């Protein structure tokens, strides 16, 4: 019999979990105060303890921090209605094995309990909250915060991936702030922004006279980050010759300044980030395979904003507060603005949303952001409903693709649009003809070989035919 203890000061939560978890294999004990809960824990009979973060008069975080080191045979899960990044990260750092935000699916909690009983808890003490705190309703971001909490107290290298503007430097800073290195420097370097002929000097430093303009010895970014963390953003832009030197730093924990044969021992954690597909670059010979695996010990992937639109109201509120100083007032936002934001595809992600909020504050003549205060590209997004024509919908798709192309500078809007509209056309013709390619080609008015080529290029799987 699996014994589960639940500590929460809300009777409805205790009832919900007991009803949903208890069966012939799971016995559930509920209590609303920590003294009673610790009485059960001290008997060494509890397999899993579920604790609410906010209890009446005390915090579940402090309890789990104490109990996870004291009662080693018990696994701890934390629950809360306030699923901010610091809560999630703190919970994972102090010994919790998982974290669920209210309202939760009891079936998921039950499945997780059965899953974790074969796993061990790594005891990592941590006390301080982050200075910044991002709440989330996105399961994808919740998973990101959980992973950050797990890796922060280690010294392993981390690769943060995701599109431009998703907040990779913020996550890197979170990892540093939650690590044992947080009293030492966090040094961020955008590899792509440094001229190629200066980047080695910027990273490793130089000695006086090593090149024209080297009028004095200079510390590099790695040396500045000694005992702390260096964040190498846009690592995919780094040339192969420099990649080998970064690899040497990872292997030997030492650097040599430009113009010097002496080595300097360093203790630096490396966190890298990229919006590129490094595995593809490895296959194409553009990125060193050995460096990729050295950097990618743990990958933290950040979802684009279009995949976490449930967080838009939270982010909007955060940026309105952040930039209230512009006009010395706290702005509100009209619900129609939020509706537009939910429709927009956000090719520039959170960074684009932040810029839009700044623009709207400057443009507004009131203390409320309305649709009229928004940039034209946002206002042009139409409210699509059942009455909209197919042409309107395709127009909106086109606008999103073009916006994305302009921001990234590496996106072929025309070919991507054709792929999106061509695939369902081919699928419909193939399904209509029961996958007779000759008949489908006649309907489409194209050559059969052309159809076969397009089926392959568009990755249309014949196994999916109805």
CATH number at residue 51: 3.40.50.2300
pLDDT single digits (tens) 156-191: 999 999 999 999 999 999 999 889 999 999 999 999
pLDDT single digits (tens) 341-380: 988 889 899 999 999 999 999 999 888 899 999 998 888 7
Least confident among 87-101, 255-269, 296-310: 87-101
Residue 205 has pLDDT above 50, yes or no: yes
- Give me the DSSP letters along 158-223: EEEE--TTS-HHHHHHHHHHTSTTTTS-EEEEEGGGS-TTTHHHHHHEE-TTSSTT--S-EE-HHH
Residue 104 has pLDDT above 90, yes or no: no
Q: Same domain for 290 and 377? A: no
Residue 64 has pLDDT above 60, yes or no: yes
pLDDT single digits (tens) 3-12: 999 999 888 7
Residue-level pLDDT at 275: 93
Q: Same domain for 221 and 355? A: no
How far does Cα 392 stand from its chain's mean position?
A: 32
Q: Domain total for the chain?
A: 4
Residue-level pLDDT at 129: 27
Residue 124 has pLDDT above 90, yes or no: no
Residue 423 has pLDDT above 60, yes or no: yes
Give the mean pLDDT of 455-461.
81
Residue-level pLDDT at 392: 65
Residue-level pLDDT at 428: 86
Q: What tokens were used for 50?
A: 């579920």
Q: Same domain for 164 and 141? A: no
Q: Same domain for 7 and 128? A: yes
Cβ–Cβ under 8 Å, residues 2 and 117: yes
Residue-level pLDDT at 352: 93
Q: Same domain for 183 and 283? A: yes
Domain with 365, as residue range(s), is 305-408
Give the mean pLDDT of 85-103.
83
- Residue 295 CB-density burial (10 A; 0-12 exposed, 13-18 middle, 19+ buried): buried
Least confident among 72-86, 266-280, 335-349: 72-86
CA distances (Å), origin 424, targets 1, 345, 400, 432? 52, 21, 19, 12
- Among 149-153, 282-286, 429-433, which range has the highest average pLDDT? 282-286
How far does Cα 301 stand from its chain's mean position?
A: 5
Give the mean pLDDT of 93-111.
84
Q: What percent of the chain has pLDDT over 70?
A: 90
Q: Out of 232, 267, 301, pick the residue that ends a domain.
A: 301
Q: Same domain for 204 and 249? A: yes
* pLDDT confidence tier of residue 76, bands split at 50, 70 and 90: very high
- Torsion over CA of 398, 399, 405 and 407, rounded to 10 degrees? -170
Q: What percent of the chain has pLDDT over 90?
A: 37
Residue 385 has pLDDT above 50, yes or no: no
Q: How do 58-59 and 54-55 pair as beta strands?
A: antiparallel
Residue-level pLDDT at 73: 87
Residue-level pLDDT at 463: 46
Q: Same domain for 69 and 100? A: yes
Residue-level pLDDT at 134: 63
Q: Out of 373, 388, 408, pick the residue that ends a domain.
A: 408
3-state secondary structure of 409: coil
Q: Same domain for 6 and 145? A: yes
Cβ–Cβ under 8 Å, residues 36 and 18: no
pLDDT single digits (tens) 392-402: 667 777 777 77
Q: Same domain for 399 and 445? A: no
* pLDDT confidence tier of residue 153, bands split at 50, 70 and 90: confident
Q: Same domain for 387 and 460? A: no
Give the mean pLDDT of 409-429.
78
Q: Same domain for 9 and 135? A: yes
Residue-level pLDDT at 465: 47
Q: Same domain for 182 and 280? A: yes
Comparing CA positions, the residue from 87, 63, 86 lying closest to residue 76 is: 63
CATH number at residue 369: 1.10.8.60
Across the chain, what does the average pLDDT equal?
84
* pLDDT confidence tier of residue 38, bands split at 50, 70 and 90: very high
Q: Out of 112, 127, 149, pick the residue that ends a domain.
A: 149
CATH number at residue 216: 3.40.50.300
């Amino acid at each position: 019999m699996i014994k589960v203890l639940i500590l929460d000061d809300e009777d409805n939560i205790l009832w919900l979990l007991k009803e949903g978890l208890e069966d012939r294999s799971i016995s559930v004990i509920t209590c609303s105060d920590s003294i009673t809960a610790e009485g059960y824990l001290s008997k060494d009979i509890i397999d899993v303890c579920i604790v609410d973060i906010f209890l009446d008069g005390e915090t579940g975080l402090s309890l789990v921090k104490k109990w996870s080191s004291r009662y080693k045979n018990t696994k701890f899960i934390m629950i809360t209605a306030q699923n901010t990044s610091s809560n999630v990260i703190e919970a994972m750092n102090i010994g919790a094995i998982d974290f669920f935000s209210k309202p939760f699916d009891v079936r998921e909690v039950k499945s997780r309990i059965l899953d974790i009983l074969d796993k061990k808890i790594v005891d990592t003490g941590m006390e301080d909250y982050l200075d910044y705190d991002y709440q989330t309703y996105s399961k994808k971001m919740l998973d990101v915060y959980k992973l950050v909490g797990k890796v922060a107290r280690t010294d392993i290298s981390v690769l943060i991936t995701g599109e431009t503007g998703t907040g990779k430097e913020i996550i890197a800073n979170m990892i540093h702030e939650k690590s044992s290195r947080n009293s030492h420097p966090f040094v961020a370097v955008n590899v792509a922004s440094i001229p190629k002929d200066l980047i080695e000097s910027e990273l490793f430093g130089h000695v006086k006279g090593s090149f024209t303009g080297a009028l004095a010895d200079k510390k590099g970014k790695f040396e500045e980050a000694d005992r702390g963390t260096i964040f190498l953003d846009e690592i995919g832009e780094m040339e192969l010759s420099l990649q080998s030197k970064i690899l040497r730093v990872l292997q030997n924990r030492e650097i040599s300044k430009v113009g010097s044969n002496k080595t300097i021992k360093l203790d630096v954690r490396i966190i890298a980030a990229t919006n590129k597909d490094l595995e593809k670059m490895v296959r194409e010979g553009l990125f060193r395979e050995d460096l990729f695996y050295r950097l990618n010990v743990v990958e933290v992937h950040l979802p684009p904003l279009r995949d976490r639109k449930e967080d838009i109201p939270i982010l909007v509120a955060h940026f309105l507060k952040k930039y209230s100083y512009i006009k010395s007032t706290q702005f509100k936002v009209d619900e129609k603005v939020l509706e537009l934001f939910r429709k927009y595809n956000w090719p520039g992600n959170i960074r684009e949303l932040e810029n839009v909020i700044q623009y709207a504050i400057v443009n507004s003549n009131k203390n409320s952001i309305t649709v009229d205060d928004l940039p034209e590209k946002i206002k042009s997004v139409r409210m699509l409903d059942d009455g909209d024509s197919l042409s309107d919908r395709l127009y909106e798709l086109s606008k999103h693709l073009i916006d994305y192309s302009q921001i990234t500078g590496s996106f072929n809007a025309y070919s991507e649009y054709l792929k999106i509209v061509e695939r369902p056309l081919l699928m419909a013709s193939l399904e209509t003809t029961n996958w007779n390619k000759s008949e489908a080609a006649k309907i489409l008015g194209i050559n059969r070989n052309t159809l076969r080529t397009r089926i392959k290029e568009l990755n249309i799987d014949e196994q999916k035919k109805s």
